[in-house]
Amino acid sequence: MEWTILGAGALGCVMTGLLRQQGESVAVMLSERHRGHFHPHIEVLDITGQRQLFYSRPLFAEHAYKVECLLVLTKAYQVVDALKRLTTLPNSTPVILLHNGMGVAEQVLSLFPNNPVLAGISSHGAMKEGNWQVRHTGKGETWLGPLNEAGKAYQSLVPALAAALGHCEWSDDIAQQQLRKLAINAVINPLTACNDINNGQLLEPRFADVLAQLSEEVHDVISRLQGDKAETLSEFRRRLHKVIELTACNYSSMQQDIAQGRPSENGYISGYILQHAHPHPVPVCQQLYQEMKKREGFRT
Catalytic residues: 181
Q: Using CA of residue 300, residue 107, residue 10, residue 101, what is the dihedral sign?
A: positive
Question: Residue 261: left if φ>0, alpha if ψ -120 to 50, beta else—which one?
Answer: left
Q: How far apart are CA 157 and CA 272, in angstroms?
A: 29
Burial of 24 (C-beta count, 10 Å sphere; 0-12/13-18/19+): middle
- Enumerate residues 6+ apart whose C-beta is below 8 A from 251: 127, 192, 198, 199, 259
